[in-house]
Amino acid sequence: MKSADPAETEALAADAAARLTAGDVVLVSGELGAGKTTFVRGAARALGVGEQVVSPTFTVGARYRARGVTVAHLDLYRLGSLADEDPALLADYFSPETISFVEWPEHAGETLGRVVLRVFLEHLGGDARGVTLDWGP
């Protein structure tokens, strides 16, 4: 898919969010500035998050109340690997009552729970982005 601007990226995310349920994990990949947080913001709004969703790069994660579910947003960019971290570092962000979005998931290895969607965003020039949604088991 192609997104012409951030509003379209958020709209694509909102459409995807309609298919998510509590306990789901969404991996969001792409280079710096590709629109990962924009995608998460659109999905979070569609799920009922009313507060501002910003990148948690310096705090690792944030949790938001939504309609009947908690939305967790993690940014693992600053972590080289979870191998050197306390295993409980991410525990609060994954639960049967939470939909979790993970930016830079390659830093986490295989420890992220029930991954139902992999999102890849890429720069296409200007505000345009390529958006690939891979719904999997």
**Residues whose CB falls within 8 Å of the CB of residue 67, separated by 6 or more in sequence, listed in order:** 47, 48
Render pLDDT for 10-31 as a digit per residue (tens, 0 to 9): 999 999 999 999 999 999 999 9
Please give the residue range of the domain that contains residue 131: 2-135
User: Looking at the predicted structure, is the pLDDT value of residue 86 above 80?
Assistant: no
118 within 8 A of 36, measured Cβ to Cβ: no
Q: At 121, is the secondary structure helix, strand, or coil?
A: strand
| CATH code of residue 61 | 3.40.50.300
- Helix %, strand %, coil % of the chain (to 5): 25, 30, 45
**Cα separations (Å) of 49 from 37, 92, 98, 104?**
14, 18, 13, 22
Asked if residues 107 and 79 have their Cβ atoms less than 8 Å apart, the reply is yes
User: What tens digit of pLDDT does each residue of 64-84 get?
Assistant: 999 999 999 999 887 666 566
Q: Half-sphere exposure of 131 toward its Cβ, with a 13 Å CA cutoff?
A: 26
Domain count, the chain: 1
